[in-house]
Amino acid sequence: MSDSNDPVVVDHLQVRYGRVTAVDEVSFTIPRSEVYALLGRNGAGKSSTIQCLVGQRRAAAGECRLLGRDAWRKRRKIMERVCVVPETPDLPPGASAVELGRFLGRVRPTWDADDFNARLDRVSVPRHLPAQRLSKGQRRQLALAAALAAEPEVLILDDPTLGLDAVVRRTLLEELVGELADRGTTILITTHDLAGIEGIADKVGIMQQGRLVYDETMEGLKVRFRRLRCVRGAATSPEAIEAALAQLEVAESRHVGAVVDAVVGRADEASIAGFSEAVDVTDFELEALSLEEIFVALCGEEPGGE
């Protein structure tokens, strides 16, 4: 499945913690300049996947390649062109923004100090306070500024909006992705801010219990999943409706009296026509869904936030 030209390739990845399999046979690729949103509930295996992808954790099986190189073996070389912002900011606690910039300026070949300073100015992060004395949001802003100032070819963001308020979150995502898209940066992002990522991501992967259950374009996912509403005829039992819905790859269904409310994964014309012929339903409606609605339908309850 992998195209060696894609900057991000995850191929049959497995991650284990002792006897627990955290990531199981996960495969996806991200073509150049695309934004890939890796979604999943807490504990679905997203962070483990990212740690393997950036060469920080060794896979039990499978392979991760970044920019055409093996992520475990060639991590140091890869990291010259890749930046990572982890779920929890891991900045050295005693280092201030200035010291961090000085250090990164010496180890990163593409470091843009002016850009770093400009970003710090924009987000009002104190430059001389050690990281441990910054707020969680400030630390995240600092980590993002550091990642972006390195002008990476691939940017990996593990829930970058975690801990940020709604306004900053939205602004950040729009600015971030808009700017990076112009640069042609390839982005892998995990987030629980599904509304924020909806207009940004080109492709979506959804992980459940360590497995990648959906790997589709954002557009394809939204075309595929629809909300179906109808009223069950008097002679039709709920069981008959469920049986028919199963043909539409139902992700979620509710029966409120005679009203049927379902999210289905096959909403093409032929399938819907087949459904309405198979059972006696009236007031038939099909609605487009937001990414969040699709995610909730697929993963059960509301995605857990921090």
Partner 1 sequence: MRAFTALVWHEISERRALLAAAAVASVLPVLAPLLPSTGSNPAADVRELVMWIMVGFLVPLFALLLGVSFIGRDLSEGRLGFYYAQPLSGPTIWFGKLTAVFLLVWGAQALIMLPTVLLAPNPVRLLAPVVTTDLPWKTGVFGWSVAETFGPYATLAVWLVPLGIVLLGHAVSVVWRGRSVWLVLDLIALLVVAGGAWMALRPFLPQVALKAALAGVLWIVAWVFLGLIAAGAAQLTFGRVDLRRAHRSLSAALWAVLAVAVGALLGWSNWVRSATPGDLHRVDRVSVASGEWIAVSGPSDGRLDYHPRFILNANDGRWVRAGSGPQESWYMSDIWFSGDGRHAFWGKRSLAGELDLMYVNLEEKEPHAKGLGLVLDGDHRSRMDVSNDGDRIAILEERTIAVYDVETGDQLAAVVINGEFEPDYCWFEGPGTVAIAASTPWVRGQGENEGRWTTYRFDVTSKTLSRGEEVTGSRWGTAEKLVAQNRRRVERVESEAGDTLALVDAGSGELVADLGETHRWSWDVRDLGDGRFLVLRHLDDESFLDYFDADGIRLNRVGYGRGSWLRFAGEVAPGRLMLGAEVWDANEREETRYRFSIVNTATGLAETTMDGFYPLQGQTWRGIEAVGDGAWQVGSVASRLLQGEDGSLHLLDPETGTLKQLIPAVASSSSRVKTADL
Site string for partner 1, 101-130 (x = CB under 8 A): -xxx-xxxx---------------------
- 94: which residues sit within 8 A by CB, 6+ positions away? 130, 131, 132
Nearer to partner 1, 162 or 264 (CB): 162
Which token pair is 159? 């829930």
CA distance 36 to 190: 8
Axis-axis angle for helices 136-149, 97-107 (nearest 10): 30
Nearer to partner 1, 158 or 252 (CB): 158
Q: Does 178 bind partner 1 (CB under 8 A)?
A: no
- Taking CB under 8 A as the criterion, the residue among 35, 44, 54, 260 binding partner 1 is 54
Q: Does 61 bind partner 1 (CB under 8 A)?
A: no
Supply the minimum distance, in Å, between the C-beta of residue 78 and partner 1.
8
Q: Binding segment for partner 1 among 29-37, 49-57, 191-199, 230-238 (CB under 8 A)?
A: 49-57
In contact, 52 and 13? CB cutoff 8 Å: yes
What is the total residue count of the chain?
Answer: 306
Supply the minimum distance, in Å, between the C-beta of residue 18 and partner 1.
8
In contact, 161 and 144? CB cutoff 8 Å: no
Supply the minimum distance, in Å, between the C-beta of residue 101 and partner 1.
11
Distances (CA, A) of 246 to 158, 196, 249, 283, 292: 35, 31, 5, 20, 22
Nearer to partner 1, 14 or 208 (CB): 14
Which token pair is 85? 């912002």
Site for partner 1 in 80-99 (CB under 8 A): 80, 83-84, 86, 88, 90-95, 99
Helix (H) or strand (E) holding 73: none
- 290: which residues sit within 8 A by CB, 6+ positions away? 194, 195, 198
Q: Does 73 bind partner 1 (CB under 8 A)?
A: no
Supply the minimum distance, in Å, between the C-beta of residue 171 and partner 1.
24
Q: Does 70 bind partner 1 (CB under 8 A)?
A: no
Residue 221's φ and ψ, nearest 5 degrees, are -65, -40
What residues make contact with partner 1 under the rule CB under 8 A? 18, 51, 54-58, 75-77, 79-80, 83-84, 86, 88, 90-95, 99, 102-104, 106-109
